[in-house]
Amino acid sequence: MSLLRTPLRSGSRLRARPWQGDERVAHVAPAGDFLGPLTADDVRRSLRPLRRSGYQVALTAALPRADQPPFLEVGFEEIERLHLLLHTFDRLDPAPPPVGCDIRRGRRRDHGEVLALVRKTTATSRLHDVVEVDGAALVPARAPD
């Protein structure tokens, strides 16, 4: 089974997948189909195939207050309130480098070692067939002198 599973009915207005890998709990969210606001009938129609697929419970993603009525109308109930936290990074102390790690600006004489490392790591990955790195690729990445 794929991680993302949508109801079998075409035209479903909800996306669904197992909640944290639990095949009994469906995690549902509006599909973002730009067809206008969801209605209670849209939610009801989308839930039926999920129940037939073996789900026992459905949870929504965090929903803005304006998107909640059709879910509440078909029997969903609020179990948690989402609290968003904000950090503006203006009070963030710079992280010290890891112990034993000497960090400095890269220099032109480092290009050979950097290219060798990039080639070594991409040779064993799927990127090997897609990415080709040469010295010219390092020029845009170089910090201004």
* Beta carbons within 8 Å of 117's beta carbon, 6+ residues apart: none
pTM above 0.75, yes or no: no
> Starting from the edge strand earliest in sequence, which strands make up the sheet with 22-30, in order?
14-19, 22-30, 57-60
Q: Provide the 8-state DSSP code for 142.
A: S
Quick: pLDDT tens for 13-67: 888 999 888 889 999 988 877 677 889 999 999 999 999 999 999 999 888 888 8
Quick: pLDDT tens for 83-125: 778 888 777 777 777 888 877 888 888 888 888 887 777 666 6
Domain boundaries, the chain: 14-73, 108-141
